[in-house]
């Protein structure tokens, strides 16, 4: 079994994933890091080739990651918008949705070097638009949901261990 962390960027997937890995002894993989290790910086991939190209690379990487076992997988926020990714990760994974308030998300991502998901909008409009598209998908596939705004990453990791591993 794998633990698959899903949610919008800035909800703590990678931070929590690393703590979970340390606490459980399970391997940690960030799908975004895997993409960058294999293909180069996400910002450059997107600026040179567009989001569609990036999503195809992401699907390839997810197909390989999904074969792992006893692995904590931190996904990119948009991974769930591709049904092949969801299907592959669900075969051997429990989906943990990490959520946060819109304000917390904006504060966490405003200085990020990740490329914007929309053009011509301010960050608040972008977060609104993308959250509205993704929330129904996140909720429909999540096995567990954790609101992260008032919790430390360590608290979140401990909660996941209790819910999923030590249940």
In this prediction, residue 115 carries a pLDDT of 53
Q: Tokens for 138, please give them.
A: 């996140």
Distance CA(75)–CA(31), nearest Å, equals 5
Better-scored residue on pLDDT, 122 or 78: 78
- Read off the pLDDT of residues 18-73 as tens digits, 9 standing for 90 and up: 999 999 999 999 999 999 999 999 989 988 999 899 999 999 999 999 999 999 99
In this prediction, residue 30 carries a pLDDT of 97
Residue 109's pLDDT band, with cuts at 50, 70 and 90, is: confident
Structural domains of the chain in order of their starting residue, each with its CATH number: 2-165 (3.40.50.300)
Three-class SS of the chain: CEEEEECCCCCCHHHHHHHHHHHHCCEEEEHHHHHHHHHCCHHHHHHHHCHHHHHHHHHHHHHHHCCCCCEEEECCCCHHHCHHHHHHHHCCEEEEEEECCHHHHHHHHCCCCCCCCCCCCCHHHHHHHHHHHHHHHHHHHCCEEEECCCCCHHHHHHHHHHHHHCC
Residue 121's pLDDT band, with cuts at 50, 70 and 90, is: low
Single pTM value for the model: 0.91
- Read off the pLDDT of residues 125-154 as tens digits, 9 standing for 90 and up: 888 888 899 999 999 999 999 999 889 999
Contact of 14 with 74, CB cutoff 8 Å: yes
In this prediction, residue 116 carries a pLDDT of 52
Closest CA to 76 of 157, 154, 5: 5
Residue 123's pLDDT band, with cuts at 50, 70 and 90, is: confident
In this prediction, residue 114 carries a pLDDT of 57
Read off the pLDDT of each residue in 72-98 and give the average, rounded to a whole number.
Answer: 96
In this prediction, residue 119 carries a pLDDT of 58
């Amino acid at each position: 079994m794998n633990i698959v962390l899903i949610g919008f960027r800035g909800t703590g997937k990678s931070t929590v994933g690393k703590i979970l890995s340390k606490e459980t002894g399970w391997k940690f993989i960030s799908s975004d890091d895997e993409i960058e290790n294999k293909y180069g910086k996400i910002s450059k991939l997107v600026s040179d080739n567009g989001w569609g190209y990036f999503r195809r690379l992401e699907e390839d990487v997810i197909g390989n990651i999904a074969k792992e076992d006893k692995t904590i997988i931190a996904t990119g926020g948009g991974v769930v918008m591709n049904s092949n990714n969801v299907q592959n990760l669900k075969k051997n994974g429990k989906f943990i949705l990490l959520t946060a308030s819109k304000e917390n998300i904006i504060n966490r991502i405003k200085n990020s070097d990740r490329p914007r998901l929309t053009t011509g909008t301010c960050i608040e409009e972008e977060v609104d638009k993308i959250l509205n598209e993704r929330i129904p998908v996140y909720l429909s596939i999540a096995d567990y949901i954790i609101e992260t705004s008032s919790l430390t990453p360590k608290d979140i990791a401990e909660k996941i261990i209790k819910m999923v591993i030590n249940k």
